[in-house]
Amino acid sequence: MKRIISIQDISALGKCSLTVALPIISAMGVECAVVPTAVLSTHTQFTGFTFHDLTDEMEPIADHWKREGFRFDAVYTGYLGSFRQVDIVKRYFRDFGEGAKIIVDPAMADNGKLYAGFGPEFPAKMAELLAGADLVLPNLTEACFLLDEEYREEYDRAYIRRILEGLLDKGAKTAALTGISFEKGRLGVVSLDRAGADFSEYYTERLPASFHGTGDIFSSAAVGGIVRGLSVPEALALAADYTAECIRLTLAEENHSLYGVNFEQAIPGLVKRLGA
Ligand code: PXL
């Protein structure tokens, strides 16, 4: 069985980061070891959340795993809360990156704004992770922060290509931008690799709502797909369809929660499609 490490927080309630990565990646038939970076009562879009930092546990976990000689097929990072955590993640890339795919979801912003708690200097620190990444998976807001580029709500393919090239220039081997739309009613993912081939694009129906945690759900499914042997464009298409299905199921529920999507009941369809 393939085995990966996922490094991100536990938001105890809120359906994001580790509480979605672990079930989705496990259901895809991949062992998911976790390095919890912090425990929060909810994700940071709620007010009054609690926060317990676990940075001090990150290095001892790596020390132990190294002593035991564990090897991994991927290292997947998501939301990170501090400069020091980014530096420790670089150590994970060095210690466990051999023969592993390094996949970075720089979860820190959306809709043109950084999430609560991040200062303006944090994106440049997060951008350091691109140097060793096989794949980086930002939304457009995150990509603009990583590149210190102006965020645009209206754009064309030339602008998106320039952003993707900027991410490759920072060292990523493949860059994928999520939440991209060139056509009313369609939303998708656009990616470019170092080979510089025409970018690959995949779109689904744009559903009339936006929920928190969908970026993490998308990345988790993409990581699972890549580790299970799909090509990057195939894994991105699988993740886009899965995420759209989660939103569809959520909207079909009366009184659905506003904080996260129904990723749970879309898992059987994901597993079936993967043949896991
Ligand atoms: O979904 C991204 C995410 C992950 N973890 C925490 C967050 C957020 C987004 O706000 O607050 C703690």
Spans of all domains in the chain: 3-274
What pTM does this model have? Answer: 0.97
Instruction: Specify the residue for token string 């922060």.
Output: 145
Ligand 1 centroid distance, CA of 260 (Å)? 11
Ligand 1 neighbour 27 (Cβ under 6 A) = no
Say whether pLDDT at 28 is over 90.
yes
Q: What 8-state DSSP symbol labels residue 112? A: T
Ligand 1 neighbour 16 (Cβ under 6 A) = yes
Q: Give, for ligand 1, the residue of 6, 7, 9, 16 to mutate: max count of ligand atoms closer than 8 Å to Cβ.
A: 16
Ligand 1 centroid distance, CA of 104 (Å)? 15
Indicate the length of the chain as a whole number.
276
Q: Please identify, by atom number, the ligand 1 atom nearest to the C-alpha of residue 40.
A: 12
Assigned architecture for domain 3-274: 3-Layer(aba) Sandwich (3.40)
Say whether pLDDT at 67 is over 90.
yes
Atom 6 of ligand 1, nearest CA residue: 43
Per-residue pLDDT band for 276 (boundaries 50, 70, 90) equals low
The rounded radius of gyration (Å) of the Cα atoms in the chain is 17
Q: State how far the Cα of 220 lies from the Cα of 28, in Å rounded to an integer.
A: 10
pLDDT tens digits, 82-115: 999 999 999 999 999 999 999 999 999 999 999 9
Q: Please identify, by atom number, the ligand 1 atom nearest to the C-alpha of residue 43.
A: 11
CB under 8 A, 24+ apart: contacts of 172-175? 172/104, 172/130, 172/133, 172/134, 172/135, 172/136, 173/133, 173/134, 173/135, 174/134, 174/135, 174/136, 174/232, 175/135, 175/136, 175/138, 175/143
- E strand or H helix that includes residue 168: helix 157-169
Q: State how far the Cα of 129 lies from the Cα of 136, in Å rounded to an integer.
A: 9
pLDDT tens digits, 189-239: 999 999 877 689 999 999 988 899 999 999 999 999 999 999 999 999 999
- E strand or H helix that includes residue 51: strand 51-53
Ligand 1 neighbour 73 (Cβ under 6 A) = no
Ligand 1 neighbour 15 (Cβ under 6 A) = no
SS3 (DSSP) at 243: helix
Say whether pLDDT at 10 is over 80.
yes
